[in-house]
Amino acid sequence: MKILVTNDDGIYSPGLSCLAKVAAAHGEVIVMAPDIEQSSMGQAITSGKPITYKKSPTHFEGIEAYRVTGTPADCVALGTHLFENIDLVLSGINIGSNLGNSAWHSGTLSAARQAVLFGIRGIALSVSVGEDEPDFDALKPFAQAALKEVINENERRLLNINFPRNPNGEIVWTSQSVRQYDGKIMANEDPMGREHYWFTVIPIEPEEDGSDRWAVKQGKTSITPMILDLTDQKYLNERSKEQNRT
Ligand code: MN
Residue 17 has pLDDT above 80, yes or no: yes
**What spacing in Å lies between the alpha carbon of 29 and ligand 1's midpoint?**
21
Q: What is the pTM of this model?
A: 0.92
DSSP 78-129: HHHHHSS---EEEEEEEES---GGGGGT-HHHHHHHHHHHTTSEEEEEEE--
**What spacing in Å lies between the alpha carbon of 49 and ligand 1's midpoint?**
23
What's the chain's length in residues? 246
Residue 246 has pLDDT above 80, yes or no: no
Question: Tens digit of pLDDT for each residue in 119-146?
Answer: 999 999 999 998 888 999 999 999 999 9
Residue 156 has pLDDT above 90, yes or no: no
Mean pLDDT of 199-203: 75
**What spacing in Å lies between the alpha carbon of 109 and ligand 1's midpoint?**
10
**What spacing in Å lies between the alpha carbon of 108 and ligand 1's midpoint?**
6
What's residue 235's pLDDT? 96
Q: In the CATH scheme, what is the code of domain 2-177+208-230? A: 3.40.1210.10
CA–CA distance, 125 with 146 (Å, rounded to integer): 9
Mean pLDDT of 4-16: 97
Q: How far is CA 179 from CA 163, 172, 207, in A?
A: 20, 19, 7
**What spacing in Å lies between the alpha carbon of 19 and ligand 1's midpoint?**
14
**What spacing in Å lies between the alpha carbon of 221 and ligand 1's midpoint?**
18
**What spacing in Å lies between the alpha carbon of 138 and ligand 1's midpoint?**
19
Residue 215 has pLDDT above 80, yes or no: yes
Residue 242 confidence class, pLDDT cut points 50, 70, 90: confident
**What spacing in Å lies between the alpha carbon of 206 and ligand 1's midpoint?**
24
**What spacing in Å lies between the alpha carbon of 125 and ligand 1's midpoint?**
10
Cα atoms found within 13 Å of the Cα of residue 81, Cβ hemisphere only: 10
Average confidence score pLDDT of the chain: 93
Is the dihedral angle over the CA atoms 175, 205, 37, 172 positive or is it negative?
Answer: negative
**What spacing in Å lies between the alpha carbon of 225 and ligand 1's midpoint?**
20
Residue 198 confidence class, pLDDT cut points 50, 70, 90: confident
Question: Tens digit of pLDDT for each residue in 43-81?
Answer: 999 999 999 999 997 667 789 999 999 999 999 999 999
What's residue 194's pLDDT? 94
For the chain, which residues make up each domain, given as ranges? 2-177+208-230
Mean pLDDT of 186-204: 86
**What spacing in Å lies between the alpha carbon of 137 and ligand 1's midpoint?**
19
**What spacing in Å lies between the alpha carbon of 37 and ligand 1's midpoint?**
7
